[in-house]
Structure 1
Amino acid sequence: MRKGIHPEDYKFVVFKDMSNDYAFLSRSTASSDETIEWEDGNEYPLIKLEISYKSHPFFTGKMQFVDTAGRVDKFKKRYAKFDKK
């Protein structure tokens, strides 16, 4: 691995799946203006996720649509002309 190309400023960050409120603590270089108090009583930066392994259909075995800001409708409208019915 080449030296000097990877970030050095890893810190603890809480990632939260907004579709089911699942949260986990991990190390990351991602930054955020929002913070959250974790189970250990410390405050960590909060990174909001739209989907994680707790809500992804591949891992859960069931289909669960989380439509944020009408993205599914925009996609269907954009690609309707390619629909083979």
Structure 2
Amino acid sequence: MSVTTGIAIYFVLWWVVLFLTLPFGVRSQHEDGTFAEGTDPGAPVLAKLWWKLLATTVLSAILFTLFTWLFLTRRLTLDDLASLWGLLK
């Protein structure tokens, strides 16, 4: 795997993990009972975005390292993935 391919895969993985972590721990103004004037009741009170960015980076690095190791040691191949998804018989 080239460095450019690795960076591209990590970039896509990072965004997928970010969208998975965004909903965790968010409380809306309606749930919290505090409303800011002129905002939607469903708006988050405190999103804790820096913690989610840190968690996303760490989790993405762990997943990327695991799958890269599996790929480079040939424990997981593209044929394995294709047969898992039913593309090869």
TM class by smaller structure: under 0.3
More strand by share: 1
**TM-score, normalised on structure 2?**
0.23
**TM-score, normalised on structure 1?**
0.24
More helix by share: 2
Larger radius of gyration: 2
